Amino acid sequence: MKSRLIWFLCLLLVGWPAWADVPARSSYNPQPQAGDLVLPMPQGAELVLRPITVPGAGFWGSRERVIQLGDAGGGAFEGVQRSLVSGSFQDPQSADWTIWLAKYELTKGQFVAVMGADALAAASGNPADQNYAQLQGRALRQAQVMPLAWVSHQAIEDFLRSYNLWLFDPQHPQRRQALPMVDQVPGFLRLATEEEWEYA
Our CA angle for 104, 108, 111, nearest 5°, is 90
Dump pLDDT digits (tens) for 86-112. Answer: 666 667 777 777 788 899 999 999 999
Choice between 14 and 194, residue whose per-residue pLDDT is larger: 194
Torsions phi, psi for 19 (to 5 deg):
-145, 140
Record the pTM.
0.79
Task: Report percent pLDDT > 90 for the chain.
Answer: 48
Bridge partners (DSSP) listed for residue 190: 10
Residue 65 is given by DSSP the state G
Q: How far is the C-alpha of 20 from the C-alpha of 51, rounded, in Å?
A: 12
